[in-house]
Structure 1
Amino acid sequence: MSHTTNQRIVLASRPAAEPTVDNFRLETVPVPELQDGQVLVRHHYLSLDPYMRGRMSESKSYANPQPLGETMIGGTVGEVVATRSPHFAVGDHVVGMGGWQQYAVVDAAQRGLLRKVDTTHVPLSAYLGAVGMPGVTAWYGLTQIIAPKEGETVVVSAASGAVGGAVGQLAKKRGARAVGVAGGADKCRWVVDELGFDACVDYKAHADVRSLSQALKEACPNGIDGYFENVGGMVLDAVMQRANAFSRIAMCGMISGYNGVPIPMSAPQLILINRMKVQGFIVGEHMEHWPAALAELGQAVATGALKYRETVAPDLAAAPEAFLGLLKGKNFGKQLVKLI
C-alpha cells in the first residue's frame, strides 16, 4: 500500500485561558520522500498527556512552547513501513515522539529518537503508559524522591491515571501502604479493587480542605510519609496537614493550575515544621534511570503484576476533544488515540 498522504493536527492558536477545540487544526499533507538514514513510521497509537497543556502556552514552563502551525508534540507507538536506515527494518515496532499525526519521518541516525520495542508479552499501547514515560515518571518520583521504607504511607493524587496507578502499585511492591486520591466513586473503587491500593479518597465528595483532610486522616491513620503530587490545590493542602516529620513530596504535576488560575498553598510553614523535602522533577532529565525503570515496569506488565487501564479515542480527529477531556479528568487511566 502507498503511504503518500499524512493527516496531522497542528496548534492553530494559543489558548487565552481554558483551551478549546478551536486551538487545533486538522491538516492533510504529503508524506516526504525518505532520505538516506531515515525511516517512515506509521503510528498505531498517540499518547495524550497533561504536560501538553503547558506547551500550548507561551508562558514560562520547563519545556519550550509548541510552535504555532506545527504538528502537536506527543509520544507515539507504531511500526516501520519504509526504511533507508540499516538500524531499522520494515515491521519493527517502535516508540518515539512522532506527534499528533498518522505518519512520521524519523532520522534514525539520531540516537534516542526511536526505540525498538518487543510486543511479545507487552502490548504496543503499554509502551505509551505503564512501560513508557508515565510509568518511568511514577518509578522515578517514587524510588528516587519519596524512597519509601517498608511500612510507610505513600499518597498519590490522580491515582487512577497512568502515572498515579503505577505509583501506588510500585509503592505496595516495596512494602509501603498506598493511598490514592481520585475523582469519583468509580475511579476510587477501581484503584482499591483492581490496583490493590489500601484506600482511596474521592476528592469530589469533599467541598473543602478540612473535609478532605479528615478523610485522609481516616485513610492514613499513621500520617503521610510520601506524597506523589499530580494536581496541587486543595489536595496538596489537605495532604500537607497530614504529613509526618521528614516526609517527602515528589512534585510531578499541578493540573489544577494549568489554565493560569493561581494555586496558593494554604500552610507552607508545614514544610519547615515537618522538615519536609519538596522536590520537583522532569523525567526526561534523568535518562540514566530509564533502563532500570523500564526493566522493572516491563517485567511487571508482562507477568500481569502491574495493572493499568486505557481510555482510547477512535481516530486522529477525536484527539483535541479527548485531550480537553483529559485535562478535566474525564478519562479513566491512560488516554490514548487509536490511529490505525
Structure 2
Amino acid sequence: MASEQKFGAGIWHFATYVDRYATDGYGAPRSLIEMIDLAGSVGDLSVVDINYPFADPKLSLDAVDEALKRNKLEVIGITPEIYTREFSKGAFTNPDPGVRRRANELINDAANVVRRFGAKYVKLWPGQDGWDYPFQVDHGDIWRKSLDGVGELAQQNPDLQFVIEYKPREPRNHMSFDSVARTLLGIEKIGLPNVGILLDFGHSLYGGESPADAAQLAIDYGRLFGMDVNDNLRGWDDDMIAGSVHPIELFEFFYTLRRNNWEGVWQLDQFPFREDSVEAAKSAIGFLKRIERALDRLDFDAMRAAQARQDAVTALNLARGALFGGE
C-alpha cells in the first residue's frame, strides 16, 4: 500500500561538509541546483527546506524554481543564515544594534522568499544567540533581546509562520533557545499566534529530553508547527540516519504525533558526512515508512490501557511487536 505521508529534507542533506579536522571537506562543493537534483533523485521526497541567502549570489529565484519543478519538489521553509561569522556574537542578542538590524533585514528578505515559493514558514535557528562563559552576558538582557527580535519579525509578517528550532548548544556553548520548555516560555511571552516550534528529534535527545514528551508539550500549547528527524549518540548533535540508534524512541515520538492527530511533513535533518546522501535519505525514509505501517498495526487502545497502569513491559511489547513484527 502506497504511503500518503509527505516526506521532506533540509537541502543541506545533499551538500558536502567540512569540520575542524577535514578542513578540505568530505567531497567537492555542490551548488544549490546540484543539491536539488540529488534531492529529486531520492524519489520519496516532496518538499525541501532551503538556506538563504544562496551560496551563489548570482543564482536567481527563477533558476531555483525551475530546478524544483524539474524535480517535482516544493519548498516547505526557508532558513535564513543568521549563524555565520557576521552574527558570531548573536543575531537577536548581538551587542551591536546594527548587527541586530541586519539580522532583521536578512530574515525579512527570507520571508519574501517564503512568499515567492509559497512555502509554509521561516525557520529560525539562532545558533549564535547565547553565551559561552560565566559572567559573559546579562541573562535577562539577552533573553529580552531574543524575544523582542522574534516578536518584531512575527509582527512585521503576520501572514507567515516563524518556527524556532531549539538546541542546547553549538555553535554557542549555550544557546538562548535551548529546550522545549524554555522555548515555549519565550513563545508564550511573545504572545503571537504565528510563532511556534520546529522540533528536531536529535536536538531533543541531545538535550536530555524525551522527544515524545517534548512533542506532547509543544502540541498541548498549540505550538508544534514542524518537526524533523535524525539520530545521535546523545552526546552530540551527530545528525545520523533516523532510526539508526534510537528506533523505539523515534517510534514513540511518531506515536505521540499520531495520537494527537498532528499532521505535517516528516522531514529529515541529517548530515551524511561520509555516506552517500541519496542512499542515506532512502534509508531513513524506508525506516519512517516502517514506522508508518507500525502505527497502523499498533493497538492504540491496548497501549493506552497499559500506559494508564504504567505497565512498561506490556507497553514495550506492544511497541516492539508493531515495529519489528512481521510486515
Same fold (TM over 0.5): no
Higher strand share: 1
Query: TM-score of the superposition, structure 1-length normalised?
Result: 0.30
Kindly indicate whether structure 1 or structure 2 has the higher relative contact order, using CA contacts under 8 Å at least 6 residues apart. Answer: 1
Query: TM-score of the superposition, structure 2-length normalised?
Result: 0.31
Higher helix share: 2
